[in-house]
Structure 1
Amino acid sequence: MLNKFFQNTQKPQGKLGKLMLTFMNSGHANLATWGFSYLNLPANSHILDVGCGGGANIAKMLKDSPGSIVDGLDHSEESVAFSKKTNASELGKRCTIRQGDVSCLPYPDQSIHLVTAFETIYFWPDLDAAFTEIKRVLKPGSNFFICCEMDNPDNTTWTDRINGMKIYRGEYLQNRLLQAGFKGVSLHRNEKGWMCLEAVC
């Protein structure tokens, strides 16, 4: 049962998926708070949270970025439903949440001011395709923000338990983002080993 629960980290489904999403919204709160300390949220803008999970970060950005539209995208149907419930008061007003693929975003070229990805790139099957697609939808001079609790591939505590999970070092992601055409990439870590990256389009 515990193993089945951990598999819902990648793509939450059913009752265990709902339980995982509840855990994500609370369990990742401290990480998100730390990450947001490095992120300047633009007001009156269009923000996209990729791999939105339970929707807690969408709710925070709707609150902290006045006048902005904050959308969410996740490949899990359960996550989309949960995130919609979390942000029900803003759906159809300042927020749209849909099921989709990070490598095929449903937005026109240069239409987004900020893309965020919290605790999700571990499960992206093709980083290059995802980074290229995110760069496509970002306006020139805008940012792509990544935040992860782990960036040490030698630590297999979770990769041994969760199918399809891959941990990347921050420096490796920096290089991949630069290769994808991002201009500058800032890397931050703390004493817990948390990592965030801010890439300029």
Structure 2
Amino acid sequence: MLNTIGKQFAHPNGICGRLATKVMNLMNHKMYDMVLMHLQTTEARTILDVGFGNAQVLKKALRLHSGTYYGVEISETMIKKARQDKALQGMELVYGKVEELPFQDEMFAYQYSINTIYFWESLDQGFQELYRCGKPDSICVIAFYSASWLKRKRRLFPMFHCYEKETILQSMESNGFTKESLLTMGKDKGYCLIARRK
């Protein structure tokens, strides 16, 4: 049962996937707020959401910050649902994974991913692609739960790969990003790592 739930968090599919993303919305709302507050401080006009799920963050971002938004997602269920949403009409919402982003070089001024990093096939390949698709001096934001918090919840999240924040930062820096800040959610519960493309 728990393994099934974990698979839905990693790759939402069908009715169960839609329910899983609603649970994620409730769990992740503080992380959403951190990313959205930071986005509002920038002048970014081309923005990519990596792993947009049921597109709750995209819809909030549209109301808070003007720009041209794009989304990439591995779940066909989530893409179909988002494309039917009137608030997202005309937005480019496509299938793809972070290791092979279906976008041109130097396309985005701001890229973010919230609670997807546990499911990436490769940190380095993911950050190489985010670097490739980012404009020079662009921002990349990665929000994630701490390894210690996830390990304490291991029965609930058996599919999650637990990364220490230092491991994520090291991978970002070795692939061309420079840390700007690290926002903390709770006492070692979660983080929002903000980095700039060199």
TM-score under structure 1 normalisation? 0.87
Q: Secondary structure at the match of 2:177?
A: coil
Is 2:9 the partner of 1:9? yes
| Cα distance in 2, alignment partners of residues 19 and 155 from structure 1 | 21
SS in 2 for 1:8: helix
1:56·1:83 contact (CA, 8 Å) conserved in 2?
no
Q: Post-superposition shift, 1:104?
A: 1.1
Gaps of 5+ in 2: none
Q: Does 1:89 align with 2:87?
A: yes
SS of the equivalent of 2:169 reads helix
1:12–1:20 CA contact under 8 A, matched in 2: yes
Contact 2:83 2:89 in 1 (8 A): yes
How many Å separate the matches in 1 of 2:137 and 2:44?
Answer: 16
Alignment: residue pair count:
196
- Per the alignment, residue 34 of structure 1 pairs with 34
- List per-residue Cα deviations over 1:10-69 (Å, max 9, x = no partner): 111122111112222333223211343344454461100001111011111111112x11
CA contact (8 A) 1:8 1:20 kept: yes
Equivalent position of 2:124 in the other structure: 128
Aligned residues of 1:177 and 1:185 also touching (Cα < 8 A): no
Distance 2:96 2:167 in 1: 26
Residue among 179, 182, 189 paired with 1:187: 182
Whole-Å separation in 2 of the counterparts to 1:20 and 1:147: 18
Shift of 1:96: 1.4
**2: distance between equivalents of 1:4 and 1:145?**
29
Aligned pairs for 1:1-201 within 5 A: 1=1, 3-40=3-40, 42-43=42-43, 45-66=45-66, 68-85=67-84, 87-92=85-90, 95-148=91-144, 150-153=145-148, 155-192=150-187, 193-201=189-197
Which deviates the most, 154-163 or 3-12?
Answer: 154-163
Cα gap change, 1:195 to 1:17, in 2 (>3 Å): same
Partners in 1 of 2:176 and 2:162 — Cα distance?
A: 22
**Which amino acid counterpart does residue 167 of structure 1 have in structure 2?**
C
Amino acid of the residue matched to residue 56 of structure 2? A
Q: Deviation per CA, 1:69-89: give whole Å up to 9, x if none.
A: 11111111122223334x433
How many percent identity over aligned positions? 26
Q: Cα deviation per residue 1:104-130 (whole Å; 9 max; x = unaligned)?
A: 111111111111000110110111001
State the 1:189 CA deviation: 1.3
User: Please, what TM-score do these two structures have when normalized by structure 2?
Assistant: 0.88
Unaligned runs of 5+ residues in structure 1 are: none
- Matched residue type, 1:70: Y
